[in-house]
Amino acid sequence: MSDSRSLYEKMILDHYKNPRNYGKIQAADKIVEAVNPLCGDTFTLYIMFNDDRINALQFTGSGCAISKASASLMTELLTGKSRHEANKIADAFQEMLRTEPDAPIAEEELGMLAAFAGVREFPIRIKCATLAWRALIRCFDDEKEGGDVAATD
């Protein structure tokens, strides 16, 4: 296992210290809780849809650098995307995190998410990196089933 400092890329620290799209959306179509009971990290996602497209995506809450930066970057990357496109990006991100630490990554496809490649060295932190993403995708899935949108793990 390598040095943890490889985990804290500049981009990740920047998003942690200056989270993008941080704050409530009063008129949100969906409000989703993302909770990791193991560490107490808790985020709330606020989503506005325009038909199938994510028109606005914001978040509030607290967590570690990895979980907060990942939530922040997610709001940037997925705003304006269709549910299908958002799912594809989330899948690619989670797929990359499941690969071996030294496996090559599809940098072009992942874009800024490639900064999280270092998380693969620290399996316990993968849940941090994917916390907000899993809550959002579960919300899409639950919409299809007409179920509850609250999500924890």
Binding span for another protein by CB under 8 A among 36-44, 77-85, 97-105, 135-143:
36-44
Distance CA 123, CA 26 (A): 36
Largest CA distance in the chain: 45
CB atoms within 10 A of CB 70: 26
Which of 30, 127 has the CB closer to another protein? 127
The one segment of 44-52, 60-68, 86-94, 144-152 that binds another protein by CB under 8 A:
60-68
* Binding residue for another protein, selected from 65, 105, 114, 126, defined by CB under 8 A: 65
Q: Which residue among 18, 24, 40, 99 contacts another protein (CB under 8 A)?
A: 40
Residues 110-129 touching another protein, rule: CB under 8 A, are 122, 125, 128
Distances in Å between the Cα of 8 and the Cα atoms of 71, 76, 122, 125 are 15, 19, 12, 12
Q: Quote the CA–CA distance of 150 and 117 in Å, as a whole number.
A: 28
Binding mask 67-86 for another protein (x = CB under 8 A): -x------------------
Q: Does 50 bind another protein (CB under 8 A)?
A: no
Rank residues 34 and 54 by Cβ distance to another protein and give the closer one. Answer: 34
CA dist., res. 67 & res. 103, Å (int): 22
Q: How far is CA 130 from CA 3, 23, 139, 145, 146, in A?
A: 21, 20, 14, 22, 23
How near is the Cβ of 151 to another protein at its closest, in Å?
Answer: 18
Tokens of 59: 């978040």
7 touching another protein, by CB under 8 A: yes
**Residue numbers of the site for another protein (CB under 8 A)?**
1-5, 7-8, 13, 16-17, 38-42, 62-66, 68, 122, 125, 128
